[in-house]
Amino acid sequence: MKTYVLVHGAWHGGWCWKKVKPLLQAAGREVYTPTLTGLGERAHLLSRQVGLDTHVQDVVGVLEWEDLQDVVLVGHSYGGMVIAGVADRVAERLAHLVYLDSAVPSDGQALLDCVGDRFRADMAEAARSRGEGWRVPPWSAERLGLVDNADAAWVIPKLVPQPYKTFQDPVRFRSPTALALPRTYIHCVGQPPSARERPPFTAAMDYYRLAAGHNAMVTAPEELADLLLRLG
């Protein structure tokens, strides 16, 4: 049985996998949901020095200290940047990379290089006007695809500012093994599903569409867990 390590996106924490984790465990899988430095219950560690490399090391630490092997490593949203960096460092511990509605960087790209002009402008303005230049306030419920009031009431109070540096730092690929790992992209196309175009960067990996908003682990946990189990 493969082990699953689920990496959350910006502003979230390991708590956001609360609905998915028990479903994977019920199928006999071992599941880890680390919280990245400065976020979730580790929000007290937030500083302007926290960058992408910090978050990569957070996950590498879990893999090494727990001595995990044959891992299905899942990254949601910004977490796609993190799992890419982790794969470069400890590819020998991984079996599969799963990008959940996330960034998929090439060598030398930062998150801000992987998104559109609107996102870049919004994040820069949010950091400047509401984050003292180094923090990015959380997205709204609507932008996260949280259409149910109960979901929004659970998620929104738990979101905390994201260090802007994590969006600016590039990923560097030095390990050819990392680039050879099996990869899958899960595209969240809304509920009801929209005709969102398949991202061009998914051409070299397996591709699945999921009828859920961006925060699928909150709004469609059963469907997401079923898909992750099939991949693993």
* Residues belonging to the active site: 77
Contacts of 126-132 with CB under 8 Å at 24 or more apart are 127/164, 131/161, 131/164
What strand order describes the sheet that includes 206-210? 30-32, 3-7, 71-76, 94-100, 183-188, 206-210
Whether the CB-CB separation of 92 and 67 falls below 8 Å is answered with: no
Place of tokens 């994590």: 166
Do 103 and 81 meet the contact criterion of CB atoms below 8 Å apart?
Answer: yes
First to last CA, the chain: 8
C-alpha 141/C-alpha 153 separation (Å) is 9
